[in-house]
Amino acid sequence: MKKLALALGLAVTSILANAADPLNGTVWKTIDDKTKQPKALVKFTEQKDGSLNASIQSVLTSGEENACTKCEGFYQNKPLKGVTIVKGLKSSGNGSYAGGTILDPKNNKTYKLKGAISADGKKLELRGYIGVAAIGRNQTWVRAN
């Protein structure tokens, strides 16, 4: 009986571990869509509701790490490190994501967000937009871990 309970416990633990989203805990290097230069390292964390948020772990662009001058509320005039720039991103299945928002700290604008992980898991293609996805900007983030 003890062996059966142990086997069942291990099976449930394995299922729960596999249920975590593949983005959860991963770190990505953001790449500016205009300059093509690395900007920051961002880490995704899964929330209690299963959605994903992502926060800046470090700023890679010299001179931009000191303050979120255009941010409003809690983040105003605070270092960019720790700012949550992605909120509420949800898996659509097959490595695709939708339903989230992304903050651009340079202009304090929030955009709707959708994206997908590349087949090799090394790139994250994101599209931020207002209204419809046809009107927006793309960014490709590169996996850092």
Q: How many domains is the chain partitioned into structurally?
A: 1
**In this structure, what token pair is assigned to residue 8?**
């069942």
Any domain includes 115: yes
Any domain includes 72: yes
Q: How far is CA 103 from the centre of its chain?
A: 11
| Mean pLDDT for the chain overall | 84
**CATH of residue 103:** 2.40.128.520
Domain that holds residue 128: 21-143
Least confident of 6-10, 29-33, 40-44: 6-10
Could you tell me the pLDDT band of residue 19, with boundaries at 50, 70 and 90?
low
Any residues with CB less than 8 A from the CB of 70 and at least 6 apart, and which?
A: 105, 106, 107, 108
**Do residues 113 and 136 make contact, with C-beta atoms less than 8 angstroms apart?**
no
Place of tokens 């720790």: 82
Any domain includes 8: no
**Do residues 126 and 112 make contact, with C-beta atoms less than 8 angstroms apart?**
no
Any domain includes 11: no
**Do residues 121 and 104 make contact, with C-beta atoms less than 8 angstroms apart?**
no
